């Protein structure tokens, strides 16, 4: 993008003052190099978001922003229902509550080195992954609704993990206000056998080694030690969330003119929060959040089973679970005034700073772990929420690297078998049902995640705590 379109506030904050129908400014948190690499669509989409009714303070983009659907991916926008604010299905995305969770293994990289291949094979065999894969659970109508109401809590009640896990999940593992009755039969049909499946595309399960600590105090509190191995799981609400996104986007496209909403882009379809359609979407979207939380909880259980088989006595504890495609009602202070806002985060991670009441007791004084995913061959990061991030972008940070090139470009540059061999030579074992899928997801097809994280850190959105390098990647 052309930097001349922005007013530079700092090295990592770039602003567009309102023009035309914009109600608030647009702000991008990134350095000049990252913004230059961004597609022009990010500017167009962010300034479009700033035109929506009831938007508060600013339409924000994170350092990993790229061309999305209506909202840019890496977009954050908050709406006030009292001021006619809207909720947007595109502002949440198709993969509702897609997110990352990371678990301690308590094991050192050199301890698992001789067992790495065995772990990779067993995890690949145990965790359903890729197109057409199914989980072991078959949910009837009653159980489906119970899962959609209960989230990870439902999973724990059914023997998948322990109550201790729930404290380390946003919303304590159960999103309130879920309305399974607002989830269509088609969405439930799509989910019938998909609980406990990883999916495909950029979703993965990785074993990672903690290789660098930037903040020893926060690392101590998160119990992160150099050389230790963690497990990270990246996936979302599977077919149920995709179907809800599809159906409500369509309904909102058709209904928007009736609500007097002038859509600059159909993908920006939305409905007033207080309208029947807005409320129906909220209930369904919250059910999809629970679906994602239950899904990651079941996958965690399967992972623990594999570790217990291969490394008897190992104990995997949850560091944290974050969702990066959501809309949540949160208290925020804007211009000294306390307000309850519907914060859309599309490809953006919530990053609560110290003292936030939503954090579990043992982390409340220091802030929330913010988990940033990598891309097979690159690093992942653990950050911590900051006080200043609250004012910057409603306590939000980036979510990953973001693609730098299309899937076709990637398959022209890389071939699956050669890429798997090359990564293996660097000590990274890949297991995937699709070699073409591996090529499309080549690490080189993504932006430099380190540059994204540096920008988030410098902008004060979240602070770096630790860097992780991949050892094993189970890829869909």
444 near another protein, rule: CB under 8 A: no
377-436: which residues touch another protein (CB under 8 A)? 402-409, 411, 433-436
Is residue 134 close enough to count as binding another protein by CB under 8 A?
yes
Phi and psi torsions of 11, nearest 5°: -55, -30
Q: Does 250 bind another protein (CB under 8 A)?
A: yes
Of the pair 187, 230, the CB lying nearest another protein is at 187
Count of residues of this chain found to bind another protein when the rule CB under 8 A is applied: 48
Least Cβ distance, residue 247 to another protein (angstroms): 8
Query: If binding is defined by CB under 8 A, does position 138 make contact with another protein?
Result: no
Q: How far is the CB of 412 from another protein (least distance, A)?
A: 10
Minimum CB separation of residue 1 from another protein in Å reads: 13
Identify the CA nearest to 113 among candidates 471, 475, 388: 471
**242 contributes a contact to another protein by CB under 8 A:** yes
Can 399 be counted among the known catalytic residues?
Answer: yes
> CB of residue 242 vs another protein: minimum separation in angstroms?
4
| Residues in region 93-122 near another protein by CB under 8 A | 94-95
Chain residues 323-382 in contact with another protein, contact rule CB under 8 A: none
Which of 306, 326, 288, 317 has its CA nearest to residue 166?
Answer: 317
Q: Rule CB under 8 A: say whether 476 interacts with another protein.
A: yes
Handedness of CA 360, 344, 329, 331 (dihedral sign): positive
Q: Is 266 near another protein (CB under 8 A)?
A: yes
For residue 432, report the phi and psi dihedrals to the nearest 5 degrees. -155, 145
437 part of the interface to another protein, by CB under 8 A: yes
Q: Least distance from C-beta 56 to another protein, angstroms?
A: 26
> Closest separation between CB of residue 152 and another protein, Å?
22
Contacting residue, 9, 131, 308, 413, with another protein by CB under 8 A:
131
From the candidates 301, 399, 408, 415, which is the catalytic residue?
Answer: 399
Q: Residue 196 or 239: which CB sits closer to another protein? A: 239
Q: How far is the CB of 410 from another protein (least distance, A)?
A: 10
Q: Which stretch binds another protein (CB under 8 A): 55-63, 149-157, 193-201, 463-471?
A: 193-201
CB of 140 to another protein, least distance (A): 16
In 3D, which of 372, 390, 259 has the Cα closest to residue 322? 372
Q: Does 204 bind another protein (CB under 8 A)?
A: no
Q: Which of 246, 251, 275, 279 binds another protein (CB under 8 A)?
A: 246
For tokens 């496209």, the residue is: 253
- Three-state DSSP string of the chain: CCHHHCEEEECCEEEECCCCCCCCCEEECCCHHHHHHCCHHHHHHHHHHCCCCCEEEEEEEEEEEECCCCCCEEEEEEECHHHCCEEECCCCCCCCCCEEEEEEEEEEHHHHHHHHHHHHHHHHHHCCCCCCCCCCCCCCHHHHHHHHHHCHHHHHHCCCCCHHHHCCEHHHHCCCCCCHHHCCHHHHHHHCCCCCCCCCCCCEEEEEEEEEECCHHHHHHHCCCCCEEEEEEEECCHHHHHHHHHHHHHHHHHHHHHHCCCCCCHHHCEEECCCHHHHHHHHHHHHHHHHHHHHHHHHHHHHHHHHHHHCCCCCCEEEEEEECEEEEEEEEEECCEEEEEEEEEECCEECCCCCCCCCCCCCCCCCCEEEECCCCCCCEEEEEECCHHHHHHCCEECCCCCECCCHHHHHHHCCHHHHHHHHHHCCCEEECCCHHHHHHCCHHHECCHHHHHHHHHHCCCEEEEEEEEEEEEEEC
Task: State yes or no: residue 274 binds another protein (CB under 8 A).
Answer: no
Residue 245 in contact with another protein, rule: CB under 8 A: yes
CB of 265 to another protein, least distance (A): 8
Under the binding rule (CB under 8 A), the answer on residue 199 touching another protein is: yes
Applying CB under 8 A, which residues contact another protein?
A: 39, 66-69, 73, 94-95, 130-134, 186, 189-190, 192, 199-201, 239, 242-243, 245-246, 249-250, 253-254, 266-267, 269, 402-409, 411, 433-437, 440, 476
**Active site residue ranges:** 399
């Amino acid at each position: 993008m052309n930097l001349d379109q922005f007013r530079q506030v700092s090295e990592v904050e770039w602003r567009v003052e309102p023009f035309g129908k914009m109600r608030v400014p647009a702000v991008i948190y990134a350095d000049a190099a990252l913004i230059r690499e961004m597609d022009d669509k990010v500017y167009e989409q962010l300034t479009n978001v700033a035109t929506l009714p009831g938007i508060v303070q600013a339409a924000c983009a994170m350092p990993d922003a790229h061309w999305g659907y209506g909202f840019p991916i890496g977009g954050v926008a908050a709406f006030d229902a009292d001021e006619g604010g809207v909720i947007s299905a595109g502002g949440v995305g198709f993969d509702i509550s897609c997110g990352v969770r990371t678990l301690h293994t308590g094991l050192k990289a050199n301890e698992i080195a001789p067992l790495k291949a065995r772990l990779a094979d067993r995890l690949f065999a145990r965790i359903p992954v890729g197109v057409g894969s199914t989980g072991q659970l078959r949910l009837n109508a009653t159980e489906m609704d119970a899962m959609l109401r209960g989230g990870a809590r439902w999973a724990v009640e059914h023997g998948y993990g322990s109550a201790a896990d729930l404290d380390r999940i946003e919303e304590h593992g159960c999103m309130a206000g879920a309305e399974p009755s607002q989830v269509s039969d088609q969405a439930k049909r799509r989910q019938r056998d998909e609980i406990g499946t990883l999916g495909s595309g950029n979703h993965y399960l990785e074993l990672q080694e903690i290789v660098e600590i930037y903040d020893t105090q926060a690392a101590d509190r998160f119990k992160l030690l150099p050389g230790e191995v963690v497990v990270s799981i990246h996936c979302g609400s599977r077919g149920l969330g995709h179907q809800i996104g599809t159906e409500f986007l369509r309904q909102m496209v058709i209904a928007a003119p009736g609500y007097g909403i002038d859509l600059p882009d159909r993908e920006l379809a939305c409905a007033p929060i207080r309208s029947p359609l807005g409320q129906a979407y909220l209930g369904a979207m919250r059910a999809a959040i629970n679906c994602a939380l239950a899904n990651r909880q079941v996958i965690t259980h399967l992972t623990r089973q594999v570790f217990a088989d291969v490394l008897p006595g190992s104990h995997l504890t949850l560091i944290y679970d974050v969702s990066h495609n959501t809309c949540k009602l949160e208290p925020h202070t804007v211009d000294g005034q306390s307000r309850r806002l519907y914060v859309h985060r599309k490809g953006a991670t919530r990053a609560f700073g110290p003292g936030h009441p939503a954090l579990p007791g043992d982390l409340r004084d220091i802030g929330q772990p913010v988990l940033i995913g990598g891309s097979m061959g690159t690093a992942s990061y653990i950050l911590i929420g900051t006080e200043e991030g609250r004012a910057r972008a409603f306590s939000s940070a980036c979510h990953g690297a973001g693609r730098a090139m299309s899937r076709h470009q990637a398959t022209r540059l890389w071939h699956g078998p050669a890429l798997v061999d090359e990564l293996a030579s660097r000590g990274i074992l890949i297991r995937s049902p699709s070699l073409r899928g591996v090529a499309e997801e080549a690490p080189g097809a993504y932006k430099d995640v380190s540059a994204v994280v540096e920008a988030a850190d410098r902008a004060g959105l979240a602070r770096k705590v630790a860097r992780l390098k991949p050892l094993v990647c189970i890829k869909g």
